[in-house]
């Protein structure tokens, strides 16, 4: 029996490594086949005749849904109807509305398994190219440079979208894929909440037209947001105004027993509580 020569051994080793690499690549692409070949994107927009919207509408994997009033309830209602038909969703709205509406939608879609990305119209083409590789089960904000967690996004003094005390969102720091089933919930449009920034140099929330029966509210004010000092005896959570507003409206709309509001406000549902 002839033993293999040195050169033959080298050739056999190279061939074996090549076959192993080919096998790994085949398995990887088979697992991610839908992501690379069948990524279907739904774009919700009120910008019917925007140039960027018209460009992406020519792509066979993209569907455009024109909604006149892009409020949280209309967005979630549309996503609920088409959720199983698409791999990801892009919401095109004005920059100043993104932190507020993205925070609401984050709470309203429970156990999200796909990406819902909010973006300005000028950043639409860029995010359409990027979104097939984004597998983050969250409501996300695209500021043109980074992906931000929806419930930590604010407009800074310069008018830029940034993430309050939170790094760029990626696959390493995103929420885990949920084990519970998907649930869509809505908010009561009759609930009105306003901010009082004159109270003890902090941001306060005043609840109007809501029967208050819980002791977590003191003088109908709840200190929730961006407070540099931790206030004694009054619950204080480090959240953005938008996230705190959305969370409170969501809970008041969906929780009948207001006695458990204090407990629920302290639960970190979507990564909204920073500290």
pLDDT digits (tens, 9 = 90+) for 143-189: 999 999 999 999 988 999 999 889 999 999 999 999 999 999 999 98
Residues 77 and 211 in one domain: no
Residues 180 and 197 in one domain: no
Of 132, 154, 184, which closes a domain? Answer: 184
Q: What is the CATH number of the domain that holds 127?
A: 3.40.50.1170
Per-residue model confidence (pLDDT) at position 55 = 76
CA distance 127 to 55: 13
Tokens of 229: 């000092």
Q: pLDDT for 11-43, tens place per residue?
A: 777 878 878 877 776 665 555 544 444 689 999
Per-residue model confidence (pLDDT) at position 52 = 74
195 closest CA partner among 249, 267, 139, 135: 249
Of 150, 184, 218, which closes a domain? Answer: 184
CA distance 248 to 252: 6
Within-domain flag for 44? yes
User: Are residues 246 and 103 in contact, defined by beta-carbon separation less than 8 angstroms?
Assistant: yes
* Higher local confidence (pLDDT), 84 or 210: 84
Within-domain flag for 168? yes
Residues 248 and 140 in one domain: no
Residues 180 and 211 in one domain: no
Residues 44 and 173 in one domain: yes
Per-residue model confidence (pLDDT) at position 53 = 76
What is the domain extent for residue 224?
192-265
- Domain tally, the chain: 2
Within-domain flag for 10? no
| pTM confidence score | 0.76
């Amino acid at each position: 029996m002839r033993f293999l020569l040195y050169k033959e051994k080298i050739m056999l080793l190279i061939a074996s490594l090549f076959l192993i690499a080919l096998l790994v690549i085949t398995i990887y692409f088979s697992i991610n086949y839908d992501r690379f070949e069948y990524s279907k994107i739904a774009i919700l927009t009120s910008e019917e005749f925007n140039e960027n919207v018209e460009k992406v509408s020519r792509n066979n994997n993209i569907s455009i849904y024109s909604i006149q009033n892009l409020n949280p309830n209309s967005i979630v209602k549309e996503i609920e109807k088409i959720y199983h038909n698409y791999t990801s969703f892009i919401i095109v709205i004005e920059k100043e509305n993104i932190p507020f509406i993205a925070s609401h939608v984050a709470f309203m879609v429970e156990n999200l398994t796909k990406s819902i990305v909010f973006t300005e119209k000028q950043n639409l083409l860029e995010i359409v190219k990027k979104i097939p590789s984004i597998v983050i089960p969250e409501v996300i904000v695209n500021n043109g440079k980074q992906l931000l967690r929806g419930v930590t996004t604010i407009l800074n003094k310069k008018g830029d979208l940034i993430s309050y005390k939170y790094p760029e969102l990626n696959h390493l720091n995103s929420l885990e894929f949920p084990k519970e089933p998907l649930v869509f919930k809505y908010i009561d449009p009759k609930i009105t909440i306003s901010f009082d920034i004159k109270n003890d140099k902090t941001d306060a929330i005043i609840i109007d037209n809501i029967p208050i029966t819980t002791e977590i509210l003191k003088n109908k004010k709840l200190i929730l947001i961006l407070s540099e000092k931790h206030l004694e005896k009054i619950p204080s959570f480090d959240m953005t105004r938008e996230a705190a507003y959305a969370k409170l409206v969501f809970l008041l709309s969906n929780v009948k027993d207001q006695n458990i509001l204090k407990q629920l406000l302290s639960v970190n549902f979507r990564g909204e509580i920073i500290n």
